[in-house]
Copies of this chain bind each other. A is one copy, B any other.
Amino acid sequence: MTMRPPAEAGDSLQDVDTPALVVDLDSLERNLDRMARAVADTGARLRPHAKSHKCPEIALKQIAAGAIGVCCQKVSEAEAMAEGGIDNILVSNEVVGRPKLDRLAALSRKAWIAVCADDAGNVDALEAAAGRADTVLNVLVEIDVGAGRCGVPPGEPAVVLARRIAGHSRLRFGGLQAYHGRAQHIRAHDERRRAVEGAAELTRQTVALLAEGGLECGIVGGAGTGTYAFEAMSGVYNELQPGSYIFMDGDYGRNLGADGAPFDEFEQSLFVYATVMSRPAPDRALVDAGLKAFAVDSGLPAVHGFADVECVGASDEHGLLAITGAGDGFGVGDKVRLVPGHCDPTVNLYDWLVGVRRGAVECLWPVTARGAVL
Bitwise interface map of A from 269 to 300 toward B, beta carbon under 8 Å scored 1, else 0: 00000011111100010101101110111000
Query: Would you call A17 and B374 a contact (CB within 8 A)?
Result: yes
- How many interface residues does chain A have, given as a range? 35 or more
- Complex contact B332–A372 (CB within 8 A): no
Given A97-B275, A150-B318, A371-B1, A292–B345 Cβ distance below 8 Å? yes
CB distance from A327 to the nearest CB of B (A): 15
Q: With A291-B345, A292-B348, A350-B371 as known contacts, state yes or no: A76 contacts B150, CB within 8 Å.
A: no
Give the chain B neighbours of A31 by CB distance below 8 A.
none
A239 at the interface (CB under 8 A from B): no
CB distance from A358 to the nearest CB of B (A): 22
Cβ of A333 under 8 Å from chain B? yes
Q: Chain B's nearest CB lies how many Å from the CB of A274?
A: 10
Select A96's contact among B6, B119, B275, beta carbons within 8 Å: B275
Residues of the B chain whose Cβ atoms lie less than 8 Å from the Cβ of A315: 149, 181
How far does the alpha carbon of A224 sit from the alpha carbon of B78 in the complex, in Å?
A: 40
State in angstroms the CA–CA spacing of A100 and B277 once bound together: 12
Is the Cβ of A316 less than 8 Å from the Cβ of B344? yes
Shortest beta-carbon distance from A348 to chain B in Å: 5
When the two chains form their complex, are residues B351 and A1 in contact, meaning their CB atoms are under 8 A apart?
A: yes
Q: Which residues of A contact B (CB under 8 A)?
A: 1-4, 6, 17-19, 51, 73-74, 76, 93-97, 99-100, 118-119, 121-122, 144, 148-152, 181, 275-280, 284, 286, 288-289, 291-293, 295-297, 314-318, 320, 332-333, 342, 344-345, 348-351, 366-368, 370-374
